[in-house]
Amino acid sequence: MSSDERCEVCGEELDDEICERCLKNLAKEVGSFFEVKERKSTEENYISCRDGTPSWIREMIYEAHSGMLPDDYKYRFVSDAVDIIADVGLGEPYIEADVYTSDLLKWVGSSLTRTGYCDDAIQEYGMDSKTAFTTTLAMGQELEKREVYDMVLNYLKDKIKQQELINHE
């Protein structure tokens, strides 16, 4: 693809067949459908979809759950991914684990499938038995966040490509 191809919507130059401006705008639009609520029983905050959220956004969130039941962490990670994409577009995202050990323990304890991310981190980063437990938790959480980010980015890219196809018809 030549570098002089332009987006038919906004006229910006395409990057890897995607208009970065349109991607950022779509991410901002998606982000507007998230809201922070308070769980009355525990007074903890959680992220939810607003009433009237389009079905395709709910489908994206469902896919991000990767077979898990609805999960507060996945909603937060999807919302964070959308915010990052709205900010950096196709640039390199800054993704990091929670800082506090207590938060990492809550994360891993919220679903037994999350230990798999920690196991994957051990393999991917070549950690050994001398690696601190909290480092393993942090790297596992970063893997999950990265997985959700990549899925959301690809979903939004596909949505833009679908819109372009509709515009061509």
Query: pLDDT tens digit string along 105-123?
Result: 999 999 999 999 999 999 9
Residues 53, 5: Cα–Cα separation, whole Å: 33
In the beta sheet, which residues pair with residue 45? Answer: 38
In the beta sheet, which residues pair with residue 47? Answer: 36
Tens digit of each residue's pLDDT (9 = 90 or more) over 37-53 = 999 888 889 999 999 99
Residues ≥6 apart with Cβ < 8 Å to 97: 104, 137, 138, 139, 141, 142, 145
pTM value > 0.95: no
Tens digit of each residue's pLDDT (9 = 90 or more) over 46-96 = 999 999 999 999 999 999 999 898 999 999 999 999 999 999 999 999 999
pLDDT bucket at 163, cuts 50 / 70 / 90: confident
Residue of 156, 10, 9 whose CA lies nearest to 88: 156
The domain locations on the chain are: 14-168
Mean of pLDDT over the chain: 90
